[in-house]
């Protein structure tokens, strides 16, 4: 399956990274704790996201995913060829700072 074209932007990012799926899950869960978000990610769920065609998760899970992979969730689960420009995601801290100004 590794030779097949990536189905989503997320799958493409993970395949080209130096982290394994379990390592990405650990990283995601650490970021969720850091952000004080009620979100966890299992290997099984990450593989579903990588495959695409899944319902969007809770907002907290989407926020953590955006922080981890620096892209909005809707972009992460879209086909790579459908993404013309990748929109970076602001960190939670940046968003809160903008709202307080």
Show me where the domains of the chain are located.
9-100
pLDDT at 96: 53
pLDDT at 91: 52
pLDDT at 44: 97
For the whole prediction, is pTM greater than 0.85? Answer: no
Angle at 18 between CA 62 and CA 29, to 5 degrees: 35
pLDDT at 3: 73
Phi, psi of 31 (to 5 degrees): -65, -40
pLDDT at 85: 47
pLDDT at 81: 82
Sign of CA dihedral 43, 45, 63, 4: positive
Per-residue pLDDT of the chain (101 residues; tens, 9 = 90+): 567 899 999 999 999 999 999 999 999 999 999 999 999 999 999 999 999 988 999 999 999 999 999 999 999 999 998 655 455 555 555 555 555 55
Who contacts 74 (Cβ-Cβ below 8 Å, separation ≥6)? 56
Q: What whole-number distance in Å separates Cα of residue 38 and Cα of residue 32?
A: 7
Nearest to 62 by CA among 86, 43, 35, 93: 35
* Residue 33 and residue 60 in contact, taking contact as beta carbons nearer than 8 Å: no
């Amino acid at each position: 399956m590794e030779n097949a074209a990536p189905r989503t932007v997320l799958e493409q990012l993970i395949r080209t990274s130096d982290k394994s799926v379990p390592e990405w899950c650990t990283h995601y869960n650490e970021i969720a704790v850091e952000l004080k978000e009620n979100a966890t990610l299992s290997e099984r769920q990450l593989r579903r996201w990588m495959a695409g065609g899944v319902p969007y998760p809770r907002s907290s899970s989407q926020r953590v995913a955006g922080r981890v992979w620096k892209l909005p969730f809707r972009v992460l689960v879209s086909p790579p060829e459908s993404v013309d420009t990748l929109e970076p995601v602001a960190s939670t801290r940046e968003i809160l700072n903008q709202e307080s100004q």
